[in-house]
Amino acid sequence: MTDQPAWLRRHGRRRLLRSVLTLAVLGAGYYGFQLQYPAAKTARACAGMLVVDPVLDLAGKSKLSLLGLGFHTSSRQFDVSSDVTEPSGLATTCDVNGVVVSIGTASGAHNAYGFYSFQRDQDALPVPLDAGWQGFMVTEEKEATASVLLSCKNWTPERGSGILVAAESPYGGEVTQDVRLELARAVTGAAQRAAEKTGCSTEPGDSSKLTAPAAAARSVPANDATGTCKGMTSAVTVIETAAGTSPAEECVLVGGLQLAAAYGPFSDASQAVVNGRYGGHATPSGTDTYTVWTSSTCQGASGVGYYHASPIEGSDREFTSDPLTKEEQADLEHFAEQSATRHGCRKPAAFTGQTRP
Protein backbone atom coordinates (compact mmCIF):
# COMPACT_ATOMS: atom_id res chain seq x y z
CA MET A 1 0.00 0.00 0.00
CA THR A 2 1.43 3.36 -1.04
CA ASP A 3 1.58 6.39 1.21
CA GLN A 4 -0.99 9.14 0.68
CA PRO A 5 0.30 12.28 -1.00
CA ALA A 6 1.29 15.07 1.38
CA TRP A 7 -1.46 17.36 0.10
CA LEU A 8 -4.09 14.72 0.90
CA ARG A 9 -2.77 14.21 4.39
CA ARG A 10 -2.85 17.99 5.00
CA HIS A 11 -6.42 18.18 3.68
CA GLY A 12 -7.49 15.40 6.04
CA ARG A 13 -5.94 17.13 9.02
CA ARG A 14 -7.70 20.37 8.12
CA ARG A 15 -11.05 18.57 7.90
CA LEU A 16 -10.43 16.94 11.26
CA LEU A 17 -9.48 20.26 12.82
CA ARG A 18 -12.61 21.92 11.40
CA SER A 19 -14.76 19.10 12.79
CA VAL A 20 -13.21 19.45 16.24
CA LEU A 21 -13.70 23.22 16.19
CA THR A 22 -17.30 22.83 15.03
CA LEU A 23 -18.05 20.36 17.81
CA ALA A 24 -16.43 22.67 20.35
CA VAL A 25 -18.51 25.63 19.18
CA LEU A 26 -21.68 23.55 19.22
CA GLY A 27 -20.80 22.21 22.66
CA ALA A 28 -20.17 25.69 24.01
CA GLY A 29 -23.41 26.88 22.50
CA TYR A 30 -25.30 23.97 24.02
CA TYR A 31 -23.70 24.63 27.41
CA GLY A 32 -24.61 28.31 27.14
CA PHE A 33 -28.15 27.33 26.20
CA GLN A 34 -28.26 25.01 29.21
CA LEU A 35 -27.35 27.92 31.46
CA GLN A 36 -30.61 29.58 30.41
CA TYR A 37 -32.75 26.62 31.49
CA PRO A 38 -35.09 27.61 34.37
CA ALA A 39 -33.43 24.99 36.61
CA ALA A 40 -29.95 26.37 35.94
CA LYS A 41 -31.04 29.97 36.46
CA THR A 42 -32.75 29.02 39.74
CA ALA A 43 -29.66 27.14 40.94
CA ARG A 44 -27.54 30.29 40.51
CA ALA A 45 -29.98 32.61 42.31
CA CYS A 46 -29.36 33.68 45.92
CA ALA A 47 -25.69 32.65 45.67
CA GLY A 48 -26.63 29.02 45.01
CA MET A 49 -28.51 28.56 48.29
CA LEU A 50 -31.92 27.61 46.86
CA VAL A 51 -33.30 24.08 46.60
CA VAL A 52 -34.31 24.04 42.96
CA ASP A 53 -37.33 21.72 42.78
CA PRO A 54 -39.75 23.43 45.22
CA VAL A 55 -38.79 26.90 43.96
CA LEU A 56 -39.41 25.83 40.35
CA ASP A 57 -42.76 24.31 41.32
CA LEU A 58 -43.79 27.58 42.95
CA ALA A 59 -42.59 29.48 39.89
CA GLY A 60 -44.68 27.30 37.57
CA LYS A 61 -41.84 25.32 35.99
CA SER A 62 -40.46 21.80 36.31
CA LYS A 63 -36.85 20.71 36.55
CA LEU A 64 -37.12 19.34 32.99
CA SER A 65 -38.32 22.63 31.50
CA LEU A 66 -36.10 23.64 28.56
CA LEU A 67 -37.76 26.94 27.79
CA GLY A 68 -36.28 29.81 29.77
CA LEU A 69 -37.79 32.58 27.65
CA GLY A 70 -39.68 34.92 29.96
CA PHE A 71 -38.37 33.16 33.07
CA HIS A 72 -36.72 35.95 35.04
CA THR A 73 -34.36 35.75 37.99
CA SER A 74 -32.47 38.43 39.88
CA SER A 75 -30.24 38.46 42.97
CA ARG A 76 -28.63 41.13 45.10
CA GLN A 77 -26.74 41.32 48.37
CA PHE A 78 -27.53 43.82 51.12
CA ASP A 79 -26.21 44.91 54.51
CA VAL A 80 -28.15 44.27 57.71
CA SER A 81 -26.42 46.14 60.51
CA SER A 82 -23.13 47.87 61.19
CA ASP A 83 -22.95 45.88 64.45
CA VAL A 84 -22.98 42.50 62.68
CA THR A 85 -20.22 41.04 60.51
CA GLU A 86 -22.10 38.59 58.32
CA PRO A 87 -20.45 35.49 56.83
CA SER A 88 -19.53 35.76 53.17
CA GLY A 89 -22.61 35.47 50.96
CA LEU A 90 -25.05 36.95 53.48
CA ALA A 91 -27.33 38.78 53.38
CA THR A 92 -28.89 38.16 49.97
CA THR A 93 -32.29 38.29 48.33
CA CYS A 94 -33.51 36.96 45.00
CA ASP A 95 -36.61 36.85 42.84
CA VAL A 96 -37.18 33.68 40.82
CA ASN A 97 -40.12 34.34 38.51
CA GLY A 98 -42.13 35.86 41.35
CA VAL A 99 -40.84 33.64 44.16
CA VAL A 100 -39.01 36.05 46.47
CA VAL A 101 -36.47 34.67 48.95
CA SER A 102 -34.42 36.61 51.50
CA ILE A 103 -31.52 34.94 53.37
CA GLY A 104 -29.76 36.79 56.17
CA THR A 105 -28.56 36.58 59.75
CA ALA A 106 -30.79 36.62 62.81
CA SER A 107 -29.00 39.46 64.61
CA GLY A 108 -29.39 42.94 63.23
CA ALA A 109 -32.10 42.16 60.68
CA HIS A 110 -33.64 45.37 59.39
CA ASN A 111 -37.21 44.25 60.04
CA ALA A 112 -38.21 40.60 60.34
CA TYR A 113 -41.83 41.65 59.85
CA GLY A 114 -41.07 43.31 56.53
CA PHE A 115 -42.80 40.57 54.51
CA TYR A 116 -45.85 40.38 56.75
CA SER A 117 -49.08 42.17 57.62
CA PHE A 118 -50.43 39.76 60.26
CA GLN A 119 -49.88 41.95 63.32
CA ARG A 120 -53.25 42.92 64.81
CA ASP A 121 -54.96 40.91 62.03
CA GLN A 122 -57.23 38.17 63.31
CA ASP A 123 -57.74 36.71 59.82
CA ALA A 124 -54.09 35.88 59.03
CA LEU A 125 -52.17 34.47 61.98
CA PRO A 126 -48.73 32.80 61.82
CA VAL A 127 -49.14 29.02 61.60
CA PRO A 128 -46.09 27.04 62.79
CA LEU A 129 -44.06 24.75 60.56
CA ASP A 130 -43.68 21.19 61.81
CA ALA A 131 -41.02 18.44 61.69
CA GLY A 132 -38.75 20.23 64.15
CA TRP A 133 -38.39 23.50 62.23
CA GLN A 134 -38.56 26.81 64.06
CA GLY A 135 -40.66 28.66 61.53
CA PHE A 136 -44.14 29.70 60.46
CA MET A 137 -46.32 30.57 57.49
CA VAL A 138 -48.93 33.26 56.96
CA THR A 139 -51.52 32.56 54.25
CA GLU A 140 -53.47 35.42 52.75
CA GLU A 141 -55.94 35.52 49.89
CA LYS A 142 -53.47 35.67 47.00
CA GLU A 143 -50.09 34.73 48.46
CA ALA A 144 -48.34 33.00 51.32
CA THR A 145 -45.13 33.90 53.14
CA ALA A 146 -42.97 31.70 55.35
CA SER A 147 -40.02 32.30 57.66
CA VAL A 148 -37.58 29.93 59.33
CA LEU A 149 -34.98 30.63 62.02
CA LEU A 150 -31.87 28.52 62.63
CA SER A 151 -29.58 29.00 65.63
CA CYS A 152 -25.85 28.69 64.87
CA LYS A 153 -24.05 27.27 67.90
CA ASN A 154 -20.70 28.59 66.68
CA TRP A 155 -21.87 32.16 65.95
CA THR A 156 -21.89 35.02 68.42
CA PRO A 157 -24.48 37.81 68.14
CA GLU A 158 -21.77 39.90 66.46
CA ARG A 159 -21.52 37.25 63.74
CA GLY A 160 -25.27 36.97 63.36
CA SER A 161 -26.45 34.42 66.00
CA GLY A 162 -28.23 32.40 63.36
CA ILE A 163 -29.87 32.37 59.95
CA LEU A 164 -33.22 33.92 59.10
CA VAL A 165 -34.89 33.05 55.79
CA ALA A 166 -38.18 34.37 54.42
CA ALA A 167 -39.83 33.18 51.20
CA GLU A 168 -42.91 34.48 49.44
CA SER A 169 -45.05 32.67 46.86
CA PRO A 170 -45.87 34.46 43.56
CA TYR A 171 -48.64 36.99 44.07
CA GLY A 172 -52.05 36.38 42.53
CA GLY A 173 -52.26 32.58 42.44
CA GLU A 174 -54.44 30.28 44.49
CA VAL A 175 -52.65 29.29 47.69
CA THR A 176 -53.42 25.57 47.69
CA GLN A 177 -52.13 22.90 50.05
CA ASP A 178 -49.50 21.98 47.43
CA VAL A 179 -48.32 25.60 47.25
CA ARG A 180 -48.01 25.78 51.04
CA LEU A 181 -46.01 22.54 51.14
CA GLU A 182 -43.63 23.67 48.38
CA LEU A 183 -43.18 27.03 50.09
CA ALA A 184 -42.36 25.28 53.37
CA ARG A 185 -39.82 23.11 51.52
CA ALA A 186 -38.33 26.13 49.77
CA VAL A 187 -37.79 28.20 52.93
CA THR A 188 -36.43 25.34 55.05
CA GLY A 189 -34.25 24.10 52.20
CA ALA A 190 -32.73 27.54 51.70
CA ALA A 191 -32.02 27.79 55.43
CA GLN A 192 -30.24 24.44 55.46
CA ARG A 193 -28.24 25.30 52.32
CA ALA A 194 -27.27 28.64 53.85
CA ALA A 195 -26.09 26.90 57.02
CA GLU A 196 -23.94 24.51 54.99
CA LYS A 197 -22.51 27.29 52.84
CA THR A 198 -21.63 29.59 55.76
CA GLY A 199 -20.36 27.00 58.25
CA CYS A 200 -23.27 27.41 60.67
CA SER A 201 -23.37 24.59 63.23
CA THR A 202 -27.08 23.98 63.74
CA GLU A 203 -29.81 21.40 64.25
CA PRO A 204 -32.35 21.76 61.43
CA GLY A 205 -35.68 20.02 61.28
CA ASP A 206 -36.47 16.90 59.27
CA SER A 207 -37.29 17.91 55.70
CA SER A 208 -38.68 14.46 54.86
CA LYS A 209 -41.41 14.85 57.52
CA LEU A 210 -42.41 18.42 56.65
CA THR A 211 -46.12 18.87 55.90
CA ALA A 212 -48.17 21.77 54.59
CA PRO A 213 -49.17 24.22 57.35
CA ALA A 214 -52.87 24.92 57.82
CA ALA A 215 -54.19 27.75 55.70
CA ALA A 216 -55.71 29.62 58.64
CA ALA A 217 -56.13 29.72 62.39
CA ARG A 218 -59.15 28.02 63.94
CA SER A 219 -61.93 29.48 66.07
CA VAL A 220 -62.94 27.19 68.96
CA PRO A 221 -64.58 27.40 72.38
CA ALA A 222 -61.90 28.28 74.92
CA ASN A 223 -62.47 25.00 76.77
CA ASP A 224 -61.64 23.06 73.57
CA ALA A 225 -58.42 24.91 72.72
CA THR A 226 -55.36 22.69 72.33
CA GLY A 227 -52.86 25.03 70.65
CA THR A 228 -51.62 28.54 71.36
CA CYS A 229 -54.78 29.37 73.35
CA LYS A 230 -54.80 26.27 75.53
CA GLY A 231 -55.84 27.04 79.10
CA MET A 232 -57.31 30.52 78.46
CA THR A 233 -60.22 31.47 80.74
CA SER A 234 -61.02 35.16 80.19
CA ALA A 235 -62.93 34.62 76.92
CA VAL A 236 -65.61 32.18 75.79
CA THR A 237 -64.21 31.80 72.25
CA VAL A 238 -60.61 31.90 71.04
CA ILE A 239 -58.80 31.92 67.70
CA GLU A 240 -55.66 29.80 67.79
CA THR A 241 -53.09 27.91 65.75
CA ALA A 242 -51.26 24.72 66.55
CA ALA A 243 -48.61 25.13 69.25
CA GLY A 244 -45.11 24.68 67.84
CA THR A 245 -41.74 26.39 68.01
CA SER A 246 -42.56 29.30 65.78
CA PRO A 247 -40.60 32.56 66.27
CA ALA A 248 -43.99 34.33 66.09
CA GLU A 249 -47.13 32.98 67.79
CA GLU A 250 -50.57 34.42 68.43
CA CYS A 251 -53.79 33.72 70.32
CA VAL A 252 -56.93 35.85 70.04
CA LEU A 253 -59.29 36.08 73.00
CA VAL A 254 -62.41 36.98 71.03
CA GLY A 255 -63.97 40.19 72.31
CA GLY A 256 -60.98 40.88 74.53
CA LEU A 257 -57.27 40.66 73.78
CA GLN A 258 -54.78 39.58 71.17
CA LEU A 259 -51.84 37.72 72.73
CA ALA A 260 -48.55 37.40 70.87
CA ALA A 261 -45.13 35.83 71.40
CA ALA A 262 -42.03 36.85 69.44
CA TYR A 263 -38.48 35.49 69.48
CA GLY A 264 -35.10 36.56 68.17
CA PRO A 265 -35.37 38.89 65.17
CA PHE A 266 -39.15 39.07 65.65
CA SER A 267 -38.77 40.48 69.17
CA ASP A 268 -35.67 42.48 68.26
CA ALA A 269 -37.21 44.33 65.32
CA SER A 270 -35.70 47.54 63.98
CA GLN A 271 -37.85 49.56 66.39
CA ALA A 272 -36.66 47.44 69.32
CA VAL A 273 -33.00 48.01 68.54
CA VAL A 274 -33.53 51.71 69.15
CA ASN A 275 -36.09 51.68 71.94
CA GLY A 276 -35.24 48.62 74.04
CA ARG A 277 -34.43 44.94 73.90
CA TYR A 278 -37.81 43.76 75.18
CA GLY A 279 -39.94 44.13 72.10
CA GLY A 280 -39.11 47.81 71.94
CA HIS A 281 -39.32 48.35 75.70
CA ALA A 282 -36.54 49.04 78.19
CA THR A 283 -37.83 46.82 81.02
CA PRO A 284 -38.51 43.03 81.11
CA SER A 285 -42.20 43.57 81.89
CA GLY A 286 -44.62 46.45 82.15
CA THR A 287 -47.67 48.29 80.85
CA ASP A 288 -48.15 51.18 78.48
CA THR A 289 -51.20 52.59 76.72
CA TYR A 290 -51.76 49.73 74.28
CA THR A 291 -49.44 46.95 75.47
CA VAL A 292 -48.94 44.79 78.53
CA TRP A 293 -45.80 42.67 78.26
CA THR A 294 -43.40 40.28 79.88
CA SER A 295 -40.27 38.56 78.56
CA SER A 296 -37.81 35.72 79.05
CA THR A 297 -34.22 34.88 78.18
CA CYS A 298 -33.75 32.20 75.53
CA GLN A 299 -30.84 30.43 73.87
CA GLY A 300 -29.13 31.02 70.53
CA ALA A 301 -30.91 32.97 67.83
CA SER A 302 -34.15 33.00 69.86
CA GLY A 303 -32.56 35.72 72.01
CA VAL A 304 -35.31 37.38 74.00
CA GLY A 305 -38.79 35.93 74.19
CA TYR A 306 -41.31 38.79 74.17
CA TYR A 307 -44.94 38.13 75.20
CA HIS A 308 -47.58 40.81 75.09
CA ALA A 309 -51.28 41.54 75.14
CA SER A 310 -52.91 44.27 73.05
CA PRO A 311 -56.53 45.33 72.47
CA ILE A 312 -58.14 43.53 69.56
CA GLU A 313 -58.35 45.39 66.26
CA GLY A 314 -61.09 48.01 66.32
CA SER A 315 -61.09 48.36 70.11
CA ASP A 316 -60.57 51.78 71.70
CA ARG A 317 -59.37 50.28 74.98
CA GLU A 318 -56.35 51.85 76.66
CA PHE A 319 -54.60 49.92 79.41
CA THR A 320 -53.65 53.06 81.31
CA SER A 321 -57.34 53.74 82.03
CA ASP A 322 -58.77 50.23 81.54
CA PRO A 323 -56.11 47.78 82.77
CA LEU A 324 -56.17 43.99 82.51
CA THR A 325 -58.54 42.06 84.72
CA LYS A 326 -57.03 39.40 86.96
CA GLU A 327 -58.34 36.74 84.55
CA GLU A 328 -56.74 38.48 81.56
CA GLN A 329 -53.46 38.86 83.42
CA ALA A 330 -53.55 35.16 84.28
CA ASP A 331 -54.15 34.32 80.61
CA LEU A 332 -51.19 36.43 79.47
CA GLU A 333 -48.94 34.81 82.09
CA HIS A 334 -50.14 31.32 81.14
CA PHE A 335 -49.69 32.04 77.42
CA ALA A 336 -46.16 33.31 78.05
CA GLU A 337 -45.15 30.38 80.25
CA GLN A 338 -46.44 27.78 77.78
CA SER A 339 -44.64 29.40 74.86
CA ALA A 340 -41.39 29.89 76.80
CA THR A 341 -41.40 26.22 77.83
CA ARG A 342 -41.84 25.05 74.21
CA HIS A 343 -38.88 27.20 73.15
CA GLY A 344 -36.60 26.14 76.00
CA CYS A 345 -36.51 29.62 77.55
CA ARG A 346 -36.37 30.68 81.18
CA LYS A 347 -39.51 31.46 83.13
CA PRO A 348 -40.92 34.83 81.99
CA ALA A 349 -40.39 37.87 84.19
CA ALA A 350 -42.93 38.52 86.93
CA PHE A 351 -45.77 40.78 85.85
CA THR A 352 -45.52 44.43 86.95
CA GLY A 353 -48.49 46.62 86.44
CA GLN A 354 -51.95 47.51 87.56
CA THR A 355 -54.92 45.14 87.33
CA ARG A 356 -58.58 45.58 88.08
CA PRO A 357 -61.06 43.11 89.57
Write the pLDDT tens digit of every residue in 197-225.
999 999 999 999 999 999 999 999 999 99
Write the pLDDT tens digit of every residue in 243-258.
999 999 999 999 999 9
170-190 as b/e: b if 16+ CB within 10 A: beeeebeeebbbbbbbbbbbb
pLDDT band, residue 19 (cuts 50/70/90): very low
pTM for this entry: 0.87
- Tell me: pLDDT of 7 over 60: no
The residues facing 295 across adjacent strands are: 306
CA distance linking residue 79 with residue 300, whole number of Å: 21
Q: In this structure, is the dihedral angle defined by the CA atoms of residues 121, 186, 339 and 346, taken in order, positive or negative?
A: negative
- Tell me: pLDDT of 230 over 70: yes
- Tell me: pLDDT of 30 over 50: no
Write the pLDDT tens digit of every residue in 264-310.
999 865 444 456 788 888 899 999 999 999 999 999 999 999 999 99
Work out the average pLDDT over 186-193.
98
- How high is the pLDDT of residue 270? 42
